[in-house]
Structure 1
Amino acid sequence: MDEDCKSSAERQIYPQQMVAAFGDEHRLFLQAIISRRFLEEEELRQCHRDACQKTDVDPGTLSDFVRSVNDKLQLIDLELKKGKDPDGSVYYALVNTRRDAISQLATGYEDHQILFLKHLLELLVDAPEELYEVGSLKILHSLKSIKFTGRKKLSEKDCEEFMNQLVADHWIVEPTKGRYHLSVRSILELKPYLLENFDEIAPCEACKEIIVTKHSEACANPNCPLRMHSSCATLRFARVSLANRNCPSCGEKWVGDWRGQKDDERIAKVRQGGQKKLRGEDEEDGMQNDEEEDE
C-alpha cells in the first residue's frame, strides 16, 4: 500500500478507534466543546461536570480527564490545550496539531483571506519593541503590499469586516479600538506555524511557551536572549528581593518592563544594584520628590 492510500485508510480507521475508546462521558464532553473550540477554564470545568453527572461517572480531576481525552484526540491530529491570557485568565482551545495548521483555517476562510491572515501575522510579529500588536491604519495601508494570487482581493471595507470576523472567531483580540493582538487561541493553535516562519519568536524561560504578547519582560543585557511572560516573571521572583533579582541566564540585574527604558542612565542604575527597577516604582519616586519640593 502506497503512502497516500495508507494515510487515507488510517484516517478512516482512526475515528472509529477513537469512538470505540471513548466512554459516554467523553463523547458528551466533546460534543459540548467542539462547536466552540475555545473556552474559559470555568466553562470547561462545567462541561466536565455536566458530562460526568449525566453519565453517572466519577469525574475525577479535570487534568486527568483532559489527558484521557487528548490520548484519543491525537489519532485525528487534535488536542485540547491550555493557555493563559496576559491577565492570567486560563483558557482551553481545541487545536489542530498538524504542522500545516494555518492551512486548516481554509475550512472557514477563503484563500485570499488566508493570505491576508498570514500577512497580519507578519505585521504583529514584526511590531517594534516586541509589542506584538498593530493598529488598524497600518493594516489598511499595508493591503497594497499583499500579492493576491486569485481574482479575489480584499478592499479596505472587506479588510475591516474580516478583522471583525477574526475577532469574533477568537483569532485576534481588540482590547482597545483599532489595536489588535493575537489571542490565546492563535498562540496555541498556530504555534507550529509561528515557530517555523518567525525565528525571532522566543520561548518563555519559565513556562517554555512562546512569547507573542507585549506582556513580557526581557533581560537588560542586549546580548542575552532570555524572555519571560510578565505573569511568569512575577511568580519567578515573588520571593526574591529586588536587589537579588538577576537574569537566570547571564546574571544581569533584572529590570522588568524594559520597553522604552533601555537608556544608559537607567541600565547603569540597575547594574549598580539600585532598588528601584520597575517603572512604577520610579514614577512613585518622582511623585514623592515633587511633593517634597512643594513642601
Structure 2
Amino acid sequence: MSSESDNTTKYLIQSLMWRQCVSEDNLKRLVTKCKRGEEAATEASNELVAEVVTRVNRQMRAYNISVSRGPNESDGTIYYALINTADNDITRMANSWSQKELLYFRKLMAAIIENKNSCIASTKMLNIGREDDIKFSLPVSETLTNKWVEQKWFEDVSDGKIAIGIRTLLEMSVYIRERFEVQDCFRCKILCIRGLNCMSCDTKLHYHCSDVQFIPDNKCPNCAKQFASTTTQNTNQSDSDSVANDSTQGVNGSAHNHRIDDSTDEETVEDLNEAIVGDSDEEPIQRRRSGRSKRSRLS
C-alpha cells in the first residue's frame, strides 16, 4: 500500500470517529482532502470513495470495526458511519450514557418503531421521560432529545414529529432486527422503518426507493398488484417535499423546533404541561410558534 493510500485511510478513520456520521457528499470532500501532490484536486469519484471504504474495512476487520453505509429515510441521502461489529451497540452506549438515559433511549426507539406512522409527537417523547422507571424532569428530557436529534440518533421530520435517525439505522440495525418486526426494503435490501407497504403482500419500500421502482404504474415489484392507494402516494409526495424543505433549516433553527427556550411565555409552558399529562398527539408550542399544519408521514 502506498504512503498516500495509507494516509488517506488513517485520515478517513479519524474523521469518522470524530464526526460519527457523515453524508456521502461530505465523505467525498474528506477523501478529496487526502489527495497529495495535486494543486487543484477534483472531488473524489464514487469509485474512489468505494475503494477507500473497502480499504478501511479490510484494515479494521481485525478490530471489529466497519464503515456502514445507508440512506436517510426522509430523502434517500446516503450516509456513512463507523460501527462496531462485535459488541451490541446498546451495550456499547452504556459506557457513555447513564442507565436511565439508556433506558429512555430504548423506550423512545421502541415507541417510534412500533407506532403505525413510524414517528411520535415530541410531547409523547417527554411523557416517556416522566415514567416511573425514568422520572426525568421536563428540562432534562428535552435536553436529551434535542441532543439526540442533533447527533442524528433521531430525526425531527415535521410538525414536532420525531422518527428514527440515520445514525440509529446504521449503528443499531442488528439490535433493531433482533427485537422488532421490521423488514428490509425490497429494492435496496436495507432496513426499512419508514416506507410504503404493498396492499397485497408483505413487500415494503423506502419512500425514495418507491419513487424509482414502481410509481409510474403503481405496481408492486414483487406481486405486480396495486402497491399503494393514490391518496397514500400523494400524501407521501407532499410530506417528502415538506421534510426536504424543513431539513435545510437545521435542528436548532427550524421553524418547528420543539425546544423550550427562555422566551417561551408562562401560558405556553402551562399548555405544554397539560398536553404532556394528557399524552396528546399534538404539539402546543408548534401551533403557537409556527401556526403551520402539516400531515405526518405515513408508513
- Cα contact 2:156–2:163 (8 A) shared by 1: yes
Name the aligned partner's letter for residue 33 of structure 1.
L
Matching of residue 127 in structure 1 with residue 122 in structure 2: no
Name the structure 2 match of 1:67.
54
Q: How does 1:211-290 map onto structure 2 within 5 Å? A: 211-213=192-194, 216-221=195-200, 224-237=201-214, 241-242=216-217, 245-255=218-228, 278-279=233-234
Name the structure 1 match of 2:292.
none
Name the aligned partner's letter for residue 68 of structure 2.
K
Q: Normalised by the size of structure 2, how large is the TM-score?
A: 0.68
Report SS of the residue matched to 2:79. strand
Report SS of the residue matched to 2:191. coil
Name structure 1 gaps, 5 residues minimum: 1-19, 260-277, 284-295
Q: Normalised by the size of structure 1, how large is the TM-score?
A: 0.69
Name structure 2 gaps, 5 residues minimum: 239-299
The 3 A distance-change label for structure 1 pair 147 and 73 is same
Report SS of the residue matched to 1:185. helix
- Cα contact 2:79–2:166 (8 A) shared by 1: yes
Name the aligned partner's letter for residue 198 of structure 2.
C
**Percent identical across equivalent pairs?**
21
- Cα contact 2:108–2:128 (8 A) shared by 1: no
Instruction: Tell me the alpha carbon deviations over residues 158-184 of structure 1, each in whole angstroms, 9 at most, x when there is no partner.
Output: 111111111122211123353211111
Name the structure 2 match of 1:100.
88
The 3 A distance-change label for structure 1 pair 73 and 54 is farther
Instruction: Tell me the alpha carbon deviations over residues 115-146 of structure 1, each in whole angstroms, 9 at most, x when there is no partner.
Output: 11010111101112xx2111122222233545
- Cα contact 2:214–2:220 (8 A) shared by 1: no
Mapped to 1, the partners of 2:38 and 2:6 lie a distance apart of 9
Mapped to 2, the partners of 1:234 and 1:177 lie a distance apart of 24
Question: Relative contact order (C-alpha < 8 Å, sep 6+): which is higher?
Answer: 2
- Cα contact 1:218–1:258 (8 A) shared by 2: no
Name the structure 2 match of 1:170.
152
**Aligned residue-pair number:** 229
Mapped to 2, the partners of 1:203 and 1:137 lie a distance apart of 29
Mapped to 1, the partners of 2:106 and 2:173 lie a distance apart of 13
- Cα contact 1:39–1:93 (8 A) shared by 2: yes
Name the aligned partner's letter for residue 214 of structure 2.
F
- Cα contact 1:166–1:172 (8 A) shared by 2: yes
Q: How does 1:36-47 map onto structure 2 within 5 Å? A: 36-47=19-30
The 3 A distance-change label for structure 1 pair 87 and 154 is same
Name the structure 1 match of 2:15.
32
Mapped to 2, the partners of 1:178 and 1:197 lie a distance apart of 26
Name the aligned partner's letter for residue 161 of structure 1.
T
Report SS of the residue matched to 2:162. strand
Task: Point out the structure with the larger helix share.
Answer: 1
Give RMSD over aligned pairs.
3.0
